[in-house]
Every structure is written in C-alpha cells, then in structure tokens.
C-alpha cells in the first residue's frame, strides 16, 4: 500500500460545506446564524435531531442551506439511527486532498463534494455509565461509531478540514471566518485536530476501562435470552 505524500496545501480554506451532528447542542443557537453570516453560501449537512435544531435556527432566507445527510448520500438512516454517516460520499468528502487529481476525479464520479468542516460531539457514554442502574446494554447502545470515525477522518485531513469537537471553540471559529472572508486557517485546523484526536482517545479509553471492569458473567447476565 502506498501512502500519499502531500506537499502543496492551502493556508486558508474557504468554508463551503460543513457536516454538523452533535449530541451536545450547547451554543448552536449562536453558532449557526453566525456561521451562515460569516461563510456566505455555505451548505450544511446534518442528521436527526441536529438537523431539526439547525432548521429552526436558520434565517428564513437561508433555510435551503441545510440538507439531511440521507438526502445527500441517497441512503436512509438505519432504524434507531444506527447508521447515518458511514457512507463513501461522506468519507471521500472528508479525506480528499485539494491538489490530488485522482481524488478530484472521484468527487466528480460520485457527485460528492469536499467537506471543509465537521462539527461533532459524541454519544454521552461516560454520562450513561455513571448513572445509577446503568447496564451493559445501555452502555453498548451509547458507544458512538460514526462520530469518532468522522472526527478521525477530518482530523487526519487537517490540511484542508476543520474538525470541531468543543462548543467552546465556536467563538474563535466565527471570529476567524469573519476576519478571513469565510475561510479557516492552517493554524486553527491543526489546533482543532489535536483536540479531536485527544477527544476520541479519551472516549475510547473510557469505553475500554468500562468493559475491562465487567466480567463475562456480568455481561452475559444482561441478556437472559441467549439462544
């Protein structure tokens, strides 16, 4: 397997497409209108409850700027939201390199677009297992798959994509977009990538520690109808 070696990148990347899917919706009421204002013409892809929240926050004349991920990919969400963003078009959009001709051909071939920002925070695993009476099954159900995958893909491609995990970073992002005419800088994208990888590492560590503390007997006891 050969690994691409990139030498030519852009310091400032115009924000044209963002994917937003968050469990913690803190700050969206300010962030979304400001995102629309500072990145004119942006298209936002979203899922489930986040999509509904964003629609409610969009200025009336920009309501068409938000699109459900399922509409973009052509694949409906799996029951219970189990599979929403694990799609080739999403990851091509996250991982594609600006000056890679083969990647640009793949975008055209699949009618995909480069995704320039991912705003994701994860299912509340730690909070779930901290609740009295929490079970292995409730913990299992709150293990996020799509969120960490998107964060890792966007953080890997920080040369073009801004991975946002912390609502506390929303003001800085808006300030930068306003100062640059709607672009993110390499400095900010690299800083956000560091936070994203630290966030997913901490998340995986919490899951590992929880499961390691459970015996096989405890796990099996949660499922009385083992066939």
Listed by start position, the domains of the chain span 12-221
Question: Kindly report the CA angle at 11 between 38 and 31, in degrees rounded to 5?
Answer: 25
Q: Let me know: does 160 contact 149? Beta carbons within 8 Å.
A: no
The pLDDT score that the predictor gives to residue 1 is: 66
**What's the rounded Cα separation, in Å, for the pair 117 and 202?**
22
Number of other residues whose CB lies within 10 A of the CB of residue 205 = 10
The pLDDT score that the predictor gives to residue 171 is: 97
Q: Which residues of the chain have pLDDT under 70?
A: 1, 79-82, 84
Tokens of 46: 């979203």
Number of other residues whose CB lies within 10 A of the CB of residue 19 = 25
The pLDDT score that the predictor gives to residue 48 is: 86
The pLDDT score that the predictor gives to residue 155 is: 98
CATH of 12-221, one of 3.40.50.2000, 3.40.50.1380, 3.40.190.10, 3.50.50.60: 3.40.50.1380
């Amino acid at each position: 397997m050969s690994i691409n070696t990139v030498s030519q990148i852009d310091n400032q990347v115009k924000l044209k497409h963002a994917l937003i899917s968050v469990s913690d919706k803190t700050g969206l009421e300010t962030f979304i209108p400001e995102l629309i204002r500072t990145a004119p013409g942006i298209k936002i892809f979203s899922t489930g409850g986040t999509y509904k929240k964003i629609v409610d926050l969009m200025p009336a004349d920009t309501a068409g700027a938000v699109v459900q991920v399922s509409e973009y990919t052509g694949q409906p969400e799996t029951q219970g939201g189990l599979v929403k963003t694990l799609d080739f078009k999403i990851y091509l959009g996250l991982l594609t390199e600006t000056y890679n001709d083969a990647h640009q051909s793949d975008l055209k071939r699949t009618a995909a677009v480069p995704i320039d920002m991912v705003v994701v925070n994860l299912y509340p695993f730690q909070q779930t297992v901290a609740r009295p009476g929490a079970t292995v099954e409730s913990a299992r159900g709150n293990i996020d798959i799509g969120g960490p995958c998107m964060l890792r893909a966007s953080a890997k491609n920080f040369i073009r994509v801004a991975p946002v995990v912390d609502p506390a970073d929303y003001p800085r992002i808006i300030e930068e977009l306003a100062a640059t005419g709607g672009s993110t800088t390499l400095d900010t994208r690299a800083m956000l990538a560091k936070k994203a990888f630290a966030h997913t590492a901490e998340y995986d560590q919490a899951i590992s520690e929880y499961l390691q503390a459970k015996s096989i007997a405890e796990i099996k006891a949660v499922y009385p109808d083992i066939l």
